[in-house]
Amino acid sequence: MRIDIISAVPQLLESFLSYSIVQRAKDKGVVEIFVHDIHDYGKGKYKQIDDYQYGGGAGMVMMVEPLDKLISKLKSERDYDDIIFMTPDAPVLKQALVNELSLKNNLMILAGHYKGVDQRLRDLHITREISIGDYVLSGGELPAAVLADAVIRLIPGAMSDETSALTDSFQNDLLAPPVYTRPPEYKGMKVPDVLLSGNHQKIAEWREQQAEKITREIRPDLLDNPSL
Ligand code: ADE
């Protein structure tokens, strides 16, 4: 998979892209990530990329032209499966969409900044808009990193243990059951006997029951509205 991330503050993405699962995936060649600085396409001597909002109102708006030039150039070089704009005024990201996106070849992610992006840019190029939750962050870089991380870890070869992604919370509309490792007892607290029993069927049943119990307590909405 190839992911192009478009940002006005590429430095914010540097550490995310050079550590952990993302770096491992890049080293293994399962993903290539390119970050593009919008300022490279900015207008005039000062490489301007934002301007005042027509009609008045607080906050600067990202101009259509620099983004259009950058996105058009990338689109002329390859076909993109999706050109995604990270924005709070969009449907909230769910695991089902992450699964779908992990099967794509070329994704472009626009990390917006300031008050927003000129609507004409959205109309011209954006094929999908995604929010990472009902709160507003100061920019789209963290949301872009969240989306990229969630997608990359599902690409075959990105994780050392591939079955582990399938047992994540949300993969079956349930939260994940509790997990334990050594020692079997700590400060008087014991690992549930069933996990030490070696009986795989019993263990699977216990995990299923725990997942349901925890989901009912913490996120009953997942049981009432599966895959929402
Ligand atoms: N940009 C600012 N806040 C955001 C959010 N909640 N989701 C996606 N992009 C954003």
Kindly list the domain boundaries of the chain, sorted by start residue: 2-152, 167-224
Cis status, amide bond into 156, omega within 30 of 0: no
Q: Which two tokens stand for residue 15?
A: 């550490």
Closest CA to 140 of 223, 84, 216: 84
The DSSP secondary-structure symbol of 39 reads: G
Give the pLDDT of residue 109: 98
Alpha carbon of 86 to ligand 1 centroid (Å): 6
Alpha carbon of 48 to ligand 1 centroid (Å): 23
The model's pLDDT over 157-192, given as tens digits with 9 standing for 90+, comes to 888 776 677 778 787 889 999 999 999 999 999 999
Q: What is the mean pLDDT of residues 135-145?
A: 95
Alpha carbon of 139 to ligand 1 centroid (Å): 7
The DSSP secondary-structure symbol of 154 reads: T
Q: CB of 135 closer than 6 A to ligand 1?
A: yes
Q: Does domain 2-152 have CATH number 3.40.1280.10?
A: yes
Query: In this structure, which CATH number among 3.40.50.1100, 1.10.1270.20, 3.40.50.300, 3.40.50.1110 belongs to the domain 167-224?
Result: 1.10.1270.20
pTM of the predicted model over 0.85: yes
Question: Are 62 and 38 within 8 A, CB to CB?
Answer: yes
Q: What residue owns the CA closest to ligand 1's atom 4?
A: 88
Q: What residue owns the CA closest to ligand 1's atom 7?
A: 131
Question: Are 90 and 116 within 8 A, CB to CB?
Answer: no
Q: Can you tell me which atom of ligand 1 is nearest the CA of 135?
A: 6
pLDDT above 70 covers a percentage of the chain that reads 98
